[in-house]
Amino acid sequence: MIDLRVRGGLIYSPEAPIRSDLLVRDGVIAALVGPDEEVTAAETIDADGLVVLPGLVDLHAHMRTPGYSHKEDFRTGSMAAAAGGYTTWVDMPNVDPPTTDADTLRDKRELALEESLIDFGHFASGSNPETIAELAKAGATGFKIFMIGGGYPHDDRIAASSDADLWQSFEAIAPTGLPCLVHPFNQALFDLFSEKELAAGRPRTFHTRAEIYTNRDVVWSSAVETAIHFHDELGVRLHLLHTHAVGSIARIRAAKARGLGVTAAIDPKYFHLTEEEMQRLGPRSYHGAWITGDERRLETIWNALADGTIDIIDSDHAPHTLDEIAHMNVDAWKAQGGSPQYDDLLMVLLDDVNRNRLPLATLARLLTENPAKLIGHYPNKGSLLPGTDADIVLIDMEKTTRLTDDRILSKAGWTPYQGRNVKGAPVRTISRGRTVARDGQIVDGPEMKRRARFLGGVAQFKDRSACRPVRDSAS
């Protein structure tokens, strides 16, 4: 008996879009069949005119729990994600206590199993070489290293603040075969440039800081250079985050051309928010304005997305309260920066597709297949192949939405894209065969209790020759 038939949609598979019906049994994709195939199904969803993608897989969540649950928790964060088309999230270790050993990892997993609506994993801190082995054994999905410090959310307790720290972390992580995500950042240069600007009498506002943090290419690209070099020496499976500097993109492209196992992600706030939005909306939309004002840099980013230099679009879903980010205007060096993304991000990106900035097939790979491969859960996640989890998102490419705070399910309750009109929206999210969100609303019930599964670490890269770019690895 088939539980669910998704009828008449246009399915985006890695090769080419196909018009086919999806059959689901026991939370798993049972088969793809033609529209005329006679099958008895308990439920049929009409997907005529809709695009069918694998549920989105995000490798950059900040669920803020434990420690900062006034910003977000596993329930609200997973609701926002599900409504936004995601069926898998993996979060970062900068919580309180930070995820630095087996106990903190287990405690966090237990909380998330209780609260999350959808499947998930946890990246543990990779900055403490002495606990790497126990974290791998306890099931960490991978590791995250912050080369940046300076205070929460860039918690100094888990910062790798020197080359020696980074080297020792890579050395400890490489034998686990797990992915190592790095926020590349030259903290010493950033501190130097900051000191000079502030000594010259510039105000401590976001504008002064962003000219260094966002605009000084060398602050990012020199760290990317070091991380790639250490990867080449030690063989750790390196995945670089926040890839938006021209110099970083050039170095990653060159490393891939040499056959190194380096992948990269970008989070869209960096190439989406505009100066106009910054003027109109203030701190909530600060992050990207300088980049979208720089045509050469924007073009470099779009080209890197199109040619596979950037492998993954992640969310950096990073909620804070509006009061907290307002501090950006007072002292940006001590303020907490970041924005909730899950509710709106896919719509912003579908709007890009509708504006011909990138093809839907490319976007699908960046949001589903590539992230699932990096954590070793492809094709069970990130595909619609028979025998894999029935994680599905149905998309209406014609639907228009005005992005406003009142629609937001994230506990933070606001969107950095406030007031934008976008075309293209997820209309239904299915997690292992069960509808969890429809038209931006959560479909909840007692049967959803403790339904989420934890995606533990899969050792893929112990053999150095297996450290190849995601797009070239066997599927």
Q: Which residues bind Zn ion (CB under 5 A)?
A: 316
Peptide bond into 379 cis (omega under 30): yes
The per-type count for the chain, helices as H runs and strands as E runs, is: 16, 19
Question: Which residue's CB atom is positioned nearest to Zn ion?
Answer: 316
Question: Which 8-state DSSP code applies to residue 55?
Answer: P
Contact 116, 432 (CB under 8 A): no
Contact 317, 410 (CB under 8 A): yes
Cβ closest to Zn ion, residue 231 vs residue 317: 317
Report, in Å, the least distance between residue 340 CB and Zn ion: 12
Report, in Å, the least distance between residue 285 CB and Zn ion: 17
Give CA–CA dist 31/450, Å, rounded. Answer: 27
Tell me how far CA of residue 412 lies from CA of 77, 148, 339, 441, in angstroms: 9, 24, 9, 17
Report, in Å, the least distance between residue 46 CB and Zn ion: 38
H or E element, residue 109: helix 102-115
87, two tokens: 């069926």
Cβ closest to Zn ion, residue 92 vs residue 442: 92
Tell me how far CA of residue 85 lies from CA of 346, 385, 395, in angstroms: 7, 18, 9
Cβ closest to Zn ion, residue 311 vs residue 316: 316
Report, in Å, the least distance between residue 316 CB and Zn ion: 4
Report, in Å, the least distance between residue 348 CB and Zn ion: 17
Cβ closest to Zn ion, residue 155 vs residue 316: 316
Give the CA radius of gyration of the chain. Answer: 21
Give CA–CA dist 32/402, Å, rounded. Answer: 35
Report, in Å, the least distance between residue 185 CB and Zn ion: 12
Report, in Å, the least distance between residue 287 CB and Zn ion: 11
Contact 187, 163 (CB under 8 A): no
Give CA–CA dist 76/95, Å, rounded. Answer: 16
Q: Which residue has the tokens 């926002």?
A: 80
Contact 227, 146 (CB under 8 A): no
Tell me how far CA of residue 418 lies from CA of 68, 82, 127, in angstroms: 24, 20, 36
Alpha helices, H only, 396-460: none
Cβ closest to Zn ion, residue 76 vs residue 94: 94
Cβ closest to Zn ion, residue 58 vs residue 119: 58
Cβ closest to Zn ion, residue 115 vs residue 155: 155
Report, in Å, the least distance between residue 146 CB and Zn ion: 9
Name the 3-class secondary structure at 358.
coil
Cβ closest to Zn ion, residue 64 vs residue 237: 64
Cβ closest to Zn ion, residue 316 vs residue 389: 316
Span between the terminal Cα atoms of the chain, in Å? 30
Name the 3-class secondary structure at 22.
strand
Report, in Å, the least distance between residue 31 CB and Zn ion: 39
Cβ closest to Zn ion, residue 253 vs residue 317: 317
Report, in Å, the least distance between residue 328 CB and Zn ion: 16
